[in-house]
Amino acid sequence: MKQEQGTWIRGYLTIHVIGSRPELFLDLCARNEIYVWDIHKIDKQTCVANIFVKDLLKIKKIRKKTRYKIQFKKRTGLPFTWKKFKKRKALMFGIVLSVLFVFFLSNMVWKIEIDGVRPEVEKQIRTSLRANGVYPGVLKFSVESPSKLQRLVLDNNPELLWVGVKEKGTTYTLEGVEKTTISEQEVKSPSNIVANKSGVIVDMYVSKGKPLVKINDFVEKGEILVAGDLKTADAIDEEKGEENEKEEGEYQIAAEAEIYANTWYESTISVPMEVTYQAITGEVNNKYYLGGNNQKVPIWGFFQEEYQSSRIEEEQNSIYFFQWELPIYFYKKEVYELEEVVEKRSEKEAKELGIRQAKIDLQETLGQAAEITNEKILHEASENGKVKLELYFTVKENIAKIQDLSQGD
């Protein structure tokens, strides 16, 4: 008969059937729904076959109704192996404990390597990692993913330009690149300082060159503010600090200055008086799985209350046995509860929010060096549940721009 699958797990017996025409006994077993396979006839009086453990009682009942003898020659399968282990509980406990111990040690962080940075910066990185729970001896399951570790290290160490994080077995390797300050060239090409925007000058700091404008002057975009082209002997003497024997000449330098002026910007923004959005309440359920890519087995956190609305974040960690990465992963699913928030604003609140948002957008465009000194509402309207604002901003910013003399005015 065809051999059944999973015979070792279910357990089976190898029997000898002794008697006249023993194949008739095996045929009788098949008629009584007893699975028999690997049948071999040794001689005229003996047949060998395999049967499942569960059919043992049926075989004994059939044998009592016949004159055949049954001898049990071999026991194979998980039930018999388990029975042997039960007799050696101490050995089995030791084996299981050893496997768990090796598994535990294989999934700990044993080494953190940091390359490419100075010793003092390396010390700072190790301090910030330890403060966030990353140090030799911690379980890898509790460590953030390499991408999150990369952001963490960069946020806590502003002197780093870039850092790469690699996980290999029980070792984390960090390779960093420090920011470097590139010194200015000692020799600069001759240049003027021109206005990159129109505005009214409020402050001037000229270190090199001849100023052509003064405070409270209105300047147009592209107008020369500080000249680097000195065409008179007096200007040359003033720049050198000594007399010049040349009667008339042209002396060119690289002008350096900071010219601050009041500039103006207009902005239009529309703010709804009622807005609906989803916000995290602070409640979170953590669920854990073991499994491969196609199937996951839940191991913890599956009897918690389900949220009506939620946001899910998943994290996958590899599992190691010694240096080998197993095809099994440890999954962590974080389920955040969300609630729908309906926010209603008065016209005053919507107007204040609109001005604040417009200032933030303008500041991001101009950079942090610029200073918004004043704002005015040119026009305000409320229609279709929205407040529409036309705004006018006054900004103090550095309008100096270097223009090489070779470019012309």
182 three-class SS: coil
Element (H or E) spanning 401, and its range?
Answer: strand 400-404
pLDDT at 226 over 80: yes
The span from the CA of 213 to the CA of 225, in Å, is 6
* Model pLDDT for residues 37-75, shown as the tens digit of each residue: 888 888 888 899 988 888 888 888 888 888 888 888 888
Would you state the pLDDT for residue 4? 53
The span from the CA of 310 to the CA of 327, in Å, is 30
Q: What mean pLDDT do residues 209-221 have?
A: 91
Would you state the pLDDT for residue 398? 94
% of the chain residues with pLDDT over 90: 21
* Model pLDDT for residues 318-366, shown as the tens digit of each residue: 777 766 777 777 888 888 989 988 888 898 999 999 999 999 999 999 9
The span from the CA of 150 to the CA of 125, in Å, is 11
Q: Which residues on adjacent β-strands are paired with residue 321? A: 324
C-beta of residue 174 within 8 angstroms of C-beta of residue 151: no
pLDDT at 296 over 50: yes
Relative to beta strand 160-168, strand 229-230 is: unpaired
Task: Kindly report the average pLDDT of the chain as a whole number.
Answer: 83
Would you state the pLDDT for residue 242? 47
Query: Band of the pLDDT at 220, cuts 50, 70, 90?
Result: very high
Close Cβ partners of 196 (under 8 Å, ≥ 6 residues apart)? 221, 399, 400, 401
Top mean pLDDT of 31-35, 233-237, 324-328 is at 31-35
